[in-house]
A and B are shown apart, each in its own frame.
Chain A
């Protein structure tokens, strides 16, 4: 469907799918990613269609490597795209901030998914700073059609100025579906070709010194050419104006329509780096009062105020004094700001029914029924009851929730080993950290070397479910599958630990709770860097149907150890009978609960 060569066909596409269609229409040849919400579906969709599209695709082991893969594509004269979540760009930044000096060859597009409101992220960083920081264009689409069109356009723009081009999505644009009209597929038949150019491809100090002015000149040229870009949309009406970027203009338009206000001038910025200074100047000259609308940080607002100051404009400029700096916007938030801006009595109400929060039980995301991580955390708490528990980023971060409470820290990819190793030398408590297999290959490897080299006393539990589970079960280096799902030799983390000189290395199956506790207790007695692989495949991809578990009611003594310390969603507590029972529609037969129960109330059903 996504690769159909039908100009004018209208399909329901999610923002992330629209990225792929746009890239395909532009003749992309190389795509790489490290999965991360809200950008994950871009890579997954390339993985699905890579063969049909005739392109190279890889799940790289981290975002820097994905970026470098795309750069290698571009330098090989192949149009390339790389996608990542916003925090991924922190990892890729090392390559990004230097490559702009010498520049790229074939079009290179960097798609970044920001996450205002932290739906699935550890921070709310505003990635537009990176565009400014690196002197690259930043395009901000507002709907799936624009995402597709801007992505296709970004390749041309990139080639014209020899710069990677950033497409900035947010969770709301990435995961918004809507009507998208297909365009022409560009049959780009460019052959792989490397052109030697040491000045531009090897940014040694002497070269970088010469190239910095060159970068600034290219950016100045870009700024001039983007002044009249079709992605900026102006509607001149009254003396009150609103300047908004990307998705935020949607909320402005809705709020205005509900209120029936039509005499407001609008400037929608489709490109927020570089800003169209002349266009903004004439917009400001026309207005007596403007509101700058942007989610997260006041980048545009600061720039607009600078323009007004430099030109001695006398007008009221509002921004973050009317709108929040945190969280994603809504029509209701914009409605409040606009009512204030135009001083009207509001007609439309956005006051929803009062939510009876007091009676609504929290429904935290939890580890799935049958998830092997639950057994690992249960065993860690038994063997290390008073330890400090640094953890990392993945499904297993959910070990923080009650009743497991086995995660104390979560910062960024790989930090569990980095922080844990140092803490193990500073604190009197034992330190035991958890890290997933995909995260281990992402940034855990250098941390492990550091832990060994600098003599940690850390117990590392590698929760190896052989997949990148949280973001949608993408393959990774430890799973025995290639990026396109073909059979591949898995890289074994325990061999790496051995090569690094770790003496205490054990492999356990976390569904065998008693064995796991035993091994962890041995580790607790051992002083150096301990490396335990808790290996069991993710229950979402393990297709082997196991017989389910049932409760022998007369054996249940109502101690609630299962519900209060293990917390499998398939184990239910009956407040009347004071006994537990298994919800068979949820149970996937992992059997870990059998060894959790002290009174043998759980048994596996006969087939």
Chain B
């Protein structure tokens, strides 16, 4: 299959690793070659995190090369800017609109940019931005723990995304604890319904 590179970024603890795993598990079940590269250790403590999921016969490494990302799933707005270098021109960007304010801002050492400013910077590389109230949707369903499922739901509607809603749901069922399958799937469905490209 054609190479497809996904960059998932956010803040340690937001669930990017499980989200990466759901996509990769789908690839493995369908017998497609995939690689996942994750951040562990120090960077997990509320730091900035990034995961790469790469699918395709000609991929070898776990890192998306610069300017080769087809899709970015940003769990936190400003984190999308930190990893913009990975995106192709006109890549799709799923942008959770809820900021997590870093300690540097709280203690007055830095400022957090306005959401519109973040969008303006992103539009320089792509106008295919899905402006998503993912945190809000996850809270309505059961809490921020389910944020990763919301964004994954939205991802299946992105043109070119390699897997269907049903294929991804199968993987969620394989990976989450039985008692949480239902809530996870509802969060996922909420994400599917929320897909909409932002008018710019």
Contact = CB atoms under 8 A, between A and B. Distances in A.
* Of A120, A363, A573, most B-chain CB atoms within 10 Å: A363
B81 to A, nearest CB: 5
How big is chain A's contact interface, by range? Answer: 35 or more
Interface string B46-74: 11100000000011111101111000000
B47 A364 contact: yes
B193 interface: no
B63 to A, nearest CB: 6
Contact of B41 (A119, A177, A398): A119
B40 A350 contact: no
A349 interface: yes
Contact of B65 (A38, A331, A355, A364): A331
Interface stretch (B107-115, B148-156, B158-166, B182-190): B107-115
A402 interface: yes
Given A177-B21, A403-B107, A330 B66 contact: yes
B173 to A, nearest CB: 15
A331 B61 contact: yes
A322 interface: no
* Of A37, A38, A395, most B-chain CB atoms within 10 Å: A37
B12 A365 contact: yes
B42 interface: yes
Nearest to B139: A585
A410 to B, nearest CB: 12
B102 A363 contact: yes
Contacts of A41: 40
Contacts of A172: 37, 61-63
A205 to B, nearest CB: 42
Contacts of A471: 41
A365 B44 contact: yes
Contacts of A253: 60
A365 B45 contact: yes
B21 A366 contact: no
Interface in A323-366: 330-332, 335, 349-356, 359-366
A355 B108 contact: no
Contact of B117 (A120, A175, A359, A398): A359
B38 A177 contact: yes
A179 B59 CA distance: 12
Given A12-B21, A367-B45, A356 B121 contact: yes
B47 to A, nearest CB: 3
A11 interface: yes
A238 B106 CA distance: 58
B28 interface: yes
B106 A38 contact: no
Contacts of B79: 363
A247 B60 CA distance: 9
Contacts of A365: 12, 42-47
Interface residues of B, number: 61
A364 B21 CA distance: 25
Nearest to A573: B106
B86 interface: yes
* Of B36, B79, B102, B106, most A-chain CB atoms within 10 Å: B106
B33 A364 contact: no
A127 to B, nearest CB: 17
A585 B111 CA distance: 22
B103 A352 contact: no
B59 A254 contact: yes
Contacts of A349: 67
A352 B107 contact: no
A332 B65 CA distance: 6
B198 interface: no
B40 A567 contact: no
Interface in B89-110: 101-110
A516 interface: no
B110 to A, nearest CB: 4
A556 B65 CA distance: 49
A564 B108 contact: yes
Contacts of A360: 78, 81-82, 113
* Of A143, A175, A361, A364, most B-chain CB atoms within 10 Å: A361
A351 B66 CA distance: 6
A528 interface: no
Interface in B13-38: 21, 24-25, 27-28, 31, 33-38
Contacts, number: 193
Nearest to A172: B62
B35 A176 contact: yes
A307 interface: no
Given A175-B38, A351-B67, A573-B108, A366 B46 contact: yes
A368 B104 contact: no
A285 interface: no
Nearest to B109: A402
A355 B28 contact: no
B103 A353 contact: no
Given A178-B34, A352-B66, A366-B46, A402 B121 contact: no
Interface string A158-185: 0000000000000010011111000000
B181 interface: no
Contacts of B36: 12, 14, 176-178
B194 interface: no
Given A10-B31, A177-B35, A257-B58, A352 B87 contact: yes
A290 B33 CA distance: 30
A560 interface: yes
Contacts of A364: 47, 102-104
Interface string A196-238: 0000000000000000000000000000000000000000000
Contacts of B31: 10
Given A179-B28, A567-B106, A395 B81 contact: no
Contacts of B24: 12, 177
A563 interface: yes
Contacts of A571: 106
Contacts of B105: 361
Q: Top 8 nearest A-B pairs by Cβ distance? A: A352-B85, A37-B41, A365-B47, A120-B41, A250-B60, A361-B110, A352-B66, A176-B62
Interface of A: 10-12, 14, 37-38, 40-41, 119-120, 142-143, 172, 175-179, 247, 249-251, 253-254, 257-258, 330-332, 335, 349-356, 359-368, 395, 398, 401-403, 470-471, 560, 563-564, 567, 569, 571-573, 585
20 contacts: A10-B28, A12-B25, A12-B27, A12-B28, A120-B40, A175-B40, A177-B62, A250-B61, A251-B61, A254-B59, A335-B65, A350-B68, A353-B84, A356-B81, A359-B121, A361-B102, A363-B48, A365-B42, A366-B47, A567-B103
